[in-house]
């Protein structure tokens, strides 16, 4: 399975943008890049996903490198409620047996 | 509220007890999953059900026994557990195995 690499932890100030990096140098042509996050004492929740083009939704933006070997999740204005573990995951929709493989993710701390 | 509920939220049991964890999804999904999250370890996929048929069992000990009586309900029956089985057990569902997964809040299990 293709793997991703993320920093163990990051820190940001409240109301500032946050850029969470992810490296996936062995990504295949059919892999989508997904991000989930896990807030304290909760199950993971879907954040965003993309294939090649940058993507935006109400929660975040996803910037994907031209060679697709890395991507960045962008929280435009972090709040204390964004403190969570963020997981970068590769998924292949053409694989009927595809499954989510969670790594350790990045623990994001938000400073008030 | 993700549309996936789990009961109980907390469970303490002795090693000789038998208990069951329940998961219910109100999303009309066809795939359901059990994950285990131990302290300081990534989420581990335990079982996958698709259209009520178990399609994956990731080398989980037989003291964990899943049951999927219909597409909306998933159980995890527990018997003669060990203290190292103490963890957060998460249920998830998705439209099919390739789609976004929606997680419940988890059951925090403590085995004494």
CB atoms A104 and B42 under 8 Å: yes
Distance CA B31, CA A80 (A): 33
Are B103 and B92 contacting, i.e. CB atoms less than 8 angstroms apart?
A: yes
Chain A / chain B CB contacts < 8 angstroms? 50
Across the range B25-38, mean pLDDT stands at 95
CA distances (Å), origin B88, targets A38, A82, B4, B55: 13, 21, 15, 22
CB atoms B2 and A43 under 8 Å: yes
Q: Is pLDDT at B45 greater than 70 in this prediction?
A: yes
Number of residues that make up chain B: 112
Determine the residue of chain A that is closest to B47 in CA distance.
A99
Are A66 and A53 contacting, i.e. CB atoms less than 8 angstroms apart?
A: no
Distance CA B27, CA B2 (A): 9
CA dihedral over A95, A100, A103, A109, signed as positive or negative: positive
Closest partner residue to B48 among A91, A99, A104, by Cβ?
A99
Q: Is pLDDT at A1 greater than 70 in this prediction?
A: no
pLDDT mean across residues, chain B: 93
Determine the residue of chain A that is closest to B101 in CA distance.
A46
Q: Is pLDDT at A95 greater than 90 in this prediction?
A: no
Are B106 and B88 contacting, i.e. CB atoms less than 8 angstroms apart?
A: yes
CB atoms A45 and B103 under 8 Å: yes
Residue A81: what are its φ and ψ, rounded to 5°?
-75, -10
Distance CA A42, CA B104 (A): 8
Across the range A1-22, mean pLDDT stands at 92
pLDDT in tens, B47-70: 999 888 887 888 899 999 999 999
**Å between B106 CA and nearest CA of chain A:** 6
> What pLDDT was estimated at residue B96?
87
């Amino acid at each position: 399975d293709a793997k991703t690499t993320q920093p163990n932890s990051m820190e940001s100030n409240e109301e500032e943008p946050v850029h969470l990096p992810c490296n996936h140098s062995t990504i295949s042509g059919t892999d989508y890049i997904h991000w989930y996050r896990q807030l304290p004492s909760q199950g993971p929740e879907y954040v965003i996903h993309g294939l090649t083009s940058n993507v935006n939704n109400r929660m975040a933006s996803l910037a994907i490198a031209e060679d697709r070997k890395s991507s960045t999740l962008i929280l435009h204005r972090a709040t204390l409620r964004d403190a969570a573990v963020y997981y970068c995951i590769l998924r292949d929709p053409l694989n009927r047996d595809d499954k989510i493989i969670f790594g350790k993710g990045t623990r994001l701390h938000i400073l008030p | 509220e993700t549309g996936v509920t789990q009961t109980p939220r907390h469970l303490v049991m002795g090693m000789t007890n038998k208990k069951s964890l329940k998961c219910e999804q109100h999303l009309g999904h066809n795939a359901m999953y059990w994950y285990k999250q131990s302290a300081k370890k990534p989420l581990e996929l335990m079982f996958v059900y698709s259209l009520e048929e178990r399609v994956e069992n990731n080398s989980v000990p037989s003291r964990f026994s899943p049951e999927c009586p219909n597409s909306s309900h998933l159980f995890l029956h527990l018997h003669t557990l060990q203290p190292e089985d103490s963890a957060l057990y998460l249920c998830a569902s998705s439209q099919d195995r390739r789609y976004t997964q929606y997680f419940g809040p988890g059951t925090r299990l403590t085995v004494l």
